[in-house]
Amino acid sequence: MKSLVDYDIKILIALLQSLKGRRDFFKFLVNNGYPELAAWSNAIRGDEEALHWLFDNGYGTLGVLSNAIDGEKKAVQWVMMSRDEFLINFSAACRKEEDGMKWLKEKDLEIFIQMVYSIRTILELQIKDQIFWYRWKN
């Protein structure tokens, strides 16, 4: 499977915009041969169907990465066992582990640093939605 770091920078910029909720960039990814990145951006945003799509269509690593970012213990262990420095540090940075962000900065992986900040925002909003469940409208 292709690692996130192997994608062209233009595709990574589209992925970043998709993570930020831009539907036009999500559609660009889907329509231009990157459905795995579109699904991953939705999985990060809490879309269970997108997560299942990743596992069912040969992109299990992206599915596990999504779960590791959420701090799921088995997924974090799998990422650690993979010995993939990028996966380990990217998921750690998303979980606000300072060593992960430090590694990304040392490697000058600016696009992924921006993704980390976007993912952290997504995770914070998800937590707020869970805490303030009584505000949900039927």
Spans of all domains in the chain? 7-53, 59-112
What residues of the chain score a pLDDT lower than 50? Answer: 138
Amino acid (one-letter) located at 7: Y
Query: Quick one: pLDDT at residue 125?
Result: 82
Query: Quick one: pLDDT at residue 16?
Result: 97
Extract the tokens encoding 38: 């579109």
Predicted TM-score (pTM) of the model is: 0.89
Q: Fill in the DSSP letter of residue 20.
A: T
Query: Quick one: pLDDT at residue 138?
Result: 47
Three-state secondary structure call for residue 133: helix
Whose CA is closest to 75, among 57, 94, 47? Answer: 94
Query: Quick one: pLDDT at residue 130?
Result: 59
Query: Quick one: pLDDT at residue 61?
Result: 97
100 vs 52: CA distance, rounded Å: 27
Query: Quick one: pLDDT at residue 1?
Result: 72
Helices (H), the chain: 9-19, 23-31, 35-44, 48-56, 60-69, 73-82, 85-94, 98-106, 110-131
- Taking every pair of C-alpha atoms in the chain, what is the biggest distance, in angstroms? 47
Q: C-alpha dihedral over 114, 116, 120, 122, to 10 degrees?
A: 70
Query: Quick one: pLDDT at residue 28?
Result: 98
> How many residues does the structure list for the chain?
138
Backbone angles phi, psi at 46, to 5 degrees: 100, 10
